[in-house]
Amino acid sequence: MDILEIIAKKRDKKELDKEEITFFVNEYTSGKIPDYQAASLIMAIYLNGMTKEETTNLTLAMANSGDILDLSKIASTVVDKHSTGGVGDKVSLILLPLIASLEIPVAKMSGRGLGFTGGTVDKLKSIPGYETEISEEKFIENIQKIGISMISQTLNLAPADKKLYALRDSTATVESIPLIASSIMSKKIASGANKIVLDVTVGKGAFMKNIEQAEKLAKEMIEIGKLANRETVCVLTNMDEPLGYAVGNNLEVKEAIEFLKGNMPEDLKEVVFELGAYMMKLAGKGEDINNNKQLLLENIVNYKAYNKFLELVNNQNGDISYIENPEKFENVKYIEPVYAEKSGSIEEIDAKKIGELACFLGAGRLKKEDEIDDTVGIVLNKKVGDVVEKNEVLAYIHANDNIKLRNVLDELKRVIKISDKSVNKNRVVFSVILNCMKT
Ligand code: URA
């Protein structure tokens, strides 16, 4: 088989067969196909799309590119959660300890930041000592011991996705339904959970810009889940403005700690509880979604979820004194307020632009080999729909570089838009798709 022929076929909008897709995935993973040829095939897929069959074959080839964990010895039901990406999305840091605190085993393999979106692995790594790279045995042992482990994609799980993920990040080929669906579902299949809840984000700070695209992505992932015997539920959530208030690694960890202590921003709370209630349902812990939400709230109020987070961090060698005293997180050189230039209501806070500004400050990567600065980012003081007075603080910029800080200050004044009219709060959860049926 010849990679040039495969590239040419996709370039010419023809359908690839299973053997061709498997050949590409295996040869690229083993290093026999170079990045430049893989990039050109990925761009052809990005431009010309894939049929459902091609997407399924790509997913299964990626899942089979490494080991597939068998978690049946841990429990008959292990749930997992994944997001299609967002800005200020610290949901996994909160939701997964919360779910584990309800005695539901959690096996989570997370990704690093992609494009302007943040990654859970980068957030976990920003906790001093926290090891995201552990062996398969240790991963399983941790789940058996404390009911939860959260790691990065370092095990031999879906190695094809690991390579393709980094390649897509540096070739402007992230926003593609077949590429996102196969990336997410290959990881989920490989990491062994048999029930999956997916947060499919929609809006300016998401890869899916409208509900129609998001529904299409959701349905493809549910179909792949069915074929792989993984029951999958998708929750469509709003990502027009950042989720919660903080954007940046340490800043988001701090917001997650606050949430686990009961200080819950409304939009973040809605997303966490909706996803959590469906995770409970899939785990057989309750059919009634509202009742499940109540049980989730109880484990926030009684600190069981917070304590589970401490246990998780401790068990993965993280320094829990940072969780117990979040002010210990290294401070930045500059914390600069951004003031409102007029009174009114907040009309728009473009999540993509906020994500890009946070990356520019150093919170994310502009190139795949860039080092992240854990301390920098943006903390909003207002959300869409809030009333603001002239000279009130709209946001705080956390920076280590004065020139970057000045640039971001100017930009933020444009990105946070104020209207003279009153503005409604953004809707947070749009719909839930179960078995391709919308609720
Ligand atoms: N998350 C992933 O794991 N992969 C994508 O392609 C997008 C979001």
Burial class (CB in 10 A: 0-12, 13-18, 19+), 430: middle
Q: How far apart are CA 130 and CA 215, in angstroms?
A: 36
Choosing from 59, 82, 168 the residue with most ligand 1 atoms within 8 A of its CB, the one to mutate for a pocket test is: 82
* Tokens (6 digits) for 382: 């207002």
The residue nearest atom 3 of ligand 1, judged by CA position, is 184
Choosing from 169, 175, 183 the residue with most ligand 1 atoms within 8 A of its CB, the one to mutate for a pocket test is: 183
* Tokens (6 digits) for 221: 């992932």
Output the CA 403–ligand 1 centroid distance in Å.
32
pLDDT score for 438: 56
The residue nearest atom 6 of ligand 1, judged by CA position, is 180
pLDDT score for 370: 81
Digit-coded pLDDT (tens) for 357-387: 999 999 988 776 788 999 999 999 999 999 9
Taking residues 212-232, report their average pLDDT.
95
Q: How far apart are CA 267 and CA 239, in angstroms?
A: 10
pLDDT score for 348: 98
């779910």: which residue's tokens? Answer: 99
């290959």: which residue's tokens? Answer: 186
CA atoms within 13 A on the CB side of 60: 19
Closest by CA to 203, choosing from 353, 394, 416, 47, is: 353
The DSSP string of 143-161 is HHHHSEEEEETTSSSSHHH
* Ligand 1 atom nearest 117 alpha carbon: 8
The residue nearest atom 1 of ligand 1, judged by CA position, is 84
pLDDT score for 436: 55
pLDDT score for 383: 98
Digit-coded pLDDT (tens) for 107-166: 898 888 877 888 899 999 999 999 999 988 899 999 999 999 999 877 788 999 999 988
Taking residues 6-16, report their average pLDDT.
98
Q: Taking all residues of the chain, what is their mean pLDDT, rounded to a whole number?
A: 94
- The residues facing 81 across adjacent strands are 197
Residues with a catalytic annotation lie at 82, 161, 168, 183, 187
Q: How far apart are CA 184 and CA 162, in angstroms?
A: 11
Taking residues 211-233, report their average pLDDT.
95
* Ligand 1 atom nearest 187 alpha carbon: 3
Asked whether residue 439 carries a pLDDT value surpassing 70, the answer given is no
Query: Which residues' Cβ are closer than 6 Å to ligand 1?
Result: 84-85, 111, 114, 179-180, 183-184, 187
Q: Which amino acid is at 97?
A: P
Digit-coded pLDDT (tens) for 325-358: 999 997 899 999 999 999 999 999 999 999 999 9
Q: Which domains does the chain have, with CATH numbers?
A: 3-49 (1.20.970.10), 79-324+429-438 (3.40.1030.10), 331-419 (3.90.1170.30)
Asked whether residue 269 carries a pLDDT value surpassing 60, the answer given is yes
Report helix, strand or coil for 132: coil
Among the listed ranges 181-190, 393-402, 427-436, which one has the minimum average pLDDT value?
427-436
State the pTM of this model: 0.94
CA distances from 11 to 14, 91, 181, 204, 285 (A): 8, 38, 20, 29, 48
The residue nearest atom 8 of ligand 1, judged by CA position, is 84
Output the CA 249–ligand 1 centroid distance in Å.
18
pLDDT score for 252: 97
Report helix, strand or coil for 264: coil
pLDDT score for 156: 86
Asked whether residue 437 carries a pLDDT value surpassing 80, the answer given is no
* Ligand 1 atom nearest 111 alpha carbon: 3
Asked whether residue 49 carries a pLDDT value surpassing 90, the answer given is yes
pLDDT score for 425: 96
Asked whether residue 242 carries a pLDDT value surpassing 80, the answer given is yes
- The residues facing 433 across adjacent strands are 234, 438
Among the listed ranges 299-308, 408-417, 427-436, which one has the minimum average pLDDT value?
427-436
* Ligand 1 atom nearest 207 alpha carbon: 7
Choosing from 165, 179, 213 the residue with most ligand 1 atoms within 8 A of its CB, the one to mutate for a pocket test is: 165
Q: How far apart are CA 368 and CA 174, in angstroms?
A: 13
* Ligand 1 atom nearest 168 alpha carbon: 6
